Structure 1
């Protein structure tokens, strides 16, 4: 498996510790890995940031991410945050069934998500669309500010920036929890990650 080959033992143990920090066991991590092997190719920081947003900000169970580990691959500012805020509004208004999944709506295409969770609630659709778009725009502003800062400080090597997919690059710009220097400790390991993305 490409994911297992890319993640060395020390980094694997680090990621197990992140799962444990959020109340999950190594067995939970293995379940997530079996369902979606690439989820373990994310940095420790991204896994922690996704858990942090999911549990501390939204108040959702960390077990839900284990059920849908592809969530770790998703962009926080472009997918997880906007959609989760829409779902939270719907819950607050009592418009979703109790115990409805928070993970499965994130898996849907944007058109299907908007149709079902925004336009599907005609009375609230303009407010839901506003929540969704505002969240997306805030992500863009943050990205632009981070990019300006990174360019100024010359953090990235040009060839690495050209190799990274848009979603990964957006993640690097958005999160404040990412220790940028950690990405470059093992250039070969990072290069392998880039190939898989």
Structure 2
């Protein structure tokens, strides 16, 4: 048995791909066929994969270099092509998540792929693109893993149309352990989310990623800044994703909004999306510019949350470019560099 490094050195691979193959050589050994890596690399190249994409595949799944390309890989590619999936999608998705290539085509890939297709009533390309972020679409048994979670949502009154959209766009939550899924659904219901509204699933998507202890820590941070339980429910219902922020990020943002700008904590609770803006790249540089304009009398009062919503191009056009003599662009850039 020869180490792959000894075989790859003698092969006529492109510099970038050779480097990738060598980097994983300690993990893979060739038994009989020293030309195997070449045939696999050429297979991907011939199917439109770039050098960068092939490198990613080799690094994430080095044992693919041992596969017989025409016997093992080609039938899977032909199946995807037969479902109307273009090579451009194949190269993007498989380079991000090549794990499906190690599964059996007839016993796994085809039945699981078709199960998701039949259930969601989405086209094949949508299902395959969703696989990029969730390998379970093509590698888990729909009936035993996904179907029980779907049934639970239906029991809670979530409309099928919402479930179909969610499972195609965010399939990962449906592959959770059923007990964890059930507990999280119940938590969302207790928070008062209406299962008939799509926000119910948005909240579910966030809560499945947060442990109970983490959720409690974040709630305590918000309470320290004056949020009531009602404020939290309002904020979470409006924009659940803000709870994915760290306690440190939440506290720093609240400190600036409350102690520097002078907003009431309840004001932020009704506009929780502002917590996601970067202090260094957006909030502080823009606020600094407005403070100068206020002190010079060019604007009469502090603009509310709208100053954060405007795109950078629009903000500069409104509050920086018209006041060249004040050197606001320099201030804007200095504040941005200081806070990054």
- TM-score w.r.t. the length of structure 1 is 0.61
Query: 2:264 matched to which residue of 1?
Result: 61
Partner of 1:115: 317
What is the CA distance between 1:39 and its match in structure 2? Answer: 0.4
Q: Secondary structure in 2 aligned to 1:100?
A: coil
Contact 2:231 2:270 survives alignment (8 Å): no
Cα gap change, 1:12/1:59 in structure 2, threshold over 3 Å: closer, same or farther?
Answer: same
Residue 195 of structure 1: aligned partner: none
- State how far apart, in whole Å, the 2-side matches of 1:114 and 1:67 are: 27
Question: What residue is the counterpart of 2:328 in the other structure?
Answer: 128
- Identify the residue that residue 339 of structure 2 maps to in structure 1: 139
Structure 2 unmatched runs, 5+ = 1-203
Residue by residue, what CA displacement relative to the aligned partner does 1:92-148 show, whole Å, maximum 9, x if unpaired?
3343344631x22111111011112222xx3466432222111012134xxxxxxxx
How large is the RMSD of aligned CA atoms in angstroms? 2.1
Match of 1:86 among 278, 289, 305: 289
Once the two structures are superposed, what CA deviation does each residue of 1:49-95 show, in whole Å capped at 9, x if it has no partner? 11112222333333332232112212111111111212222333343
2: CA distance, partners of 1:129 / 1:50: 23
Q: Which protein is bigger by CA-based radius of gyration?
A: 2
Alignment of 1:46-195 (within 5 A): 46-98=249-301, 100-101=303-304, 103-119=305-321, 122-123=322-323, 126-140=326-340
> Quick one: structure 1 residues 129 and 99, their matched pair in 2 at CA, closer, same or farther if it must change by over 3 Å?
closer
Bigger relative CO (Cα 8 Å, ≥ 6 apart): 1
Cα distance in 2 for partners of 1:26, 1:91 equals 35
Q: Relative to 1, partners in 2 of residues 1:64 and 1:118: Cα closer, same or farther, differing over 3 Å?
A: farther
Report the equivalent of 2:238.
35
> Which SS does the other structure have where 1:13 is aligned?
helix
| Cα gap change, 1:2 to 1:136, in 2 (>3 Å) | same
Query: Contact 2:290–2:302 (CA<8 Å) still a contact in 1?
Result: no
Matched positions, count: 137
Q: Which residue of 1 aligns with 2:17?
A: none
3-state secondary structure, aligned to 1:6? coil
Classify 1:62/1:129 alpha carbon distance in 2 versus 1 (closer, same or farther; 3 Å): farther
Indicate how the Cα distance of structure 1 residues 95 and 67 shifts in structure 2: closer, same or farther if over 3 A, else same.
farther
**Pair 78,123 (structure 1): closer, same or farther in 2 beyond 3 Å:** closer
